Amino acid sequence: MSTIPKNNSETVAHTPGRASSIGVWILQVVLATIIAGGGISKLAGDPVMVDMFADIGAGQWLRYLVGALEVAGGVGLLIPALAGLASLGLAALLTGAVITDQFVLEQSPWLPLACLVVAAVIARARWSRTKAVVGTLLRR
């Protein structure tokens, strides 16, 4: 008598979900690294960042705010319960970065635009968990 199951559909059915979950985690780690690295350089006072925010004309307080939001968003992407919310927040921040790059700094918005697309993919992939977290918070 054979102990090998005749129908292996359960294993096959879980493979795409696992592969997509791993793919989303890779996107989260890559985006967290890029975003948090940029935030750290803003908070550390990198001369390039200081000059860029001077060109924007909103004051250096905005550099500190954006840097802190980027570091918080990068960390949030690595915490499973917060990854969806962090990606939504970063998508909003990156929308502002795309607009600022294009219309204020008059430079190419491709990097923030690519990061925005990745943040949107993560937000969509983590949507069910995000709804559960928000639902839990609203019930309190």
- Which range of residues forms the domain containing residue 33? 22-138
Q: Where are the alpha helices (DSSP H) in 78-126?
A: 83-99, 110-125
Q: For 16-55, write each residue's pLDDT tens digit.
A: 588 889 999 999 999 999 999 999 999 999 999 999 999 9
Q: Does residue 124 lie in a domain region? A: yes
On the question of pLDDT at 9 being above 90, the answer is no
Q: Does residue 10 lie in a domain region? A: no
Residue 94: CA count within 13 A, CB half-sphere: 26
On the question of pLDDT at 117 being above 60, the answer is yes
Q: Does residue 5 lie in a domain region? A: no
Q: Does residue 105 lie in a domain region? A: yes
Distances (CA, A) of 137 to 52, 130, 131: 38, 11, 10
DSSP state, residue 58:
S
Using 50, 70 and 90 to split pLDDT, how confident is the model at 6? low
Q: Does residue 4 lie in a domain region? A: no
Number of domains in the chain: 1
Q: Does residue 9 lie in a domain region? A: no
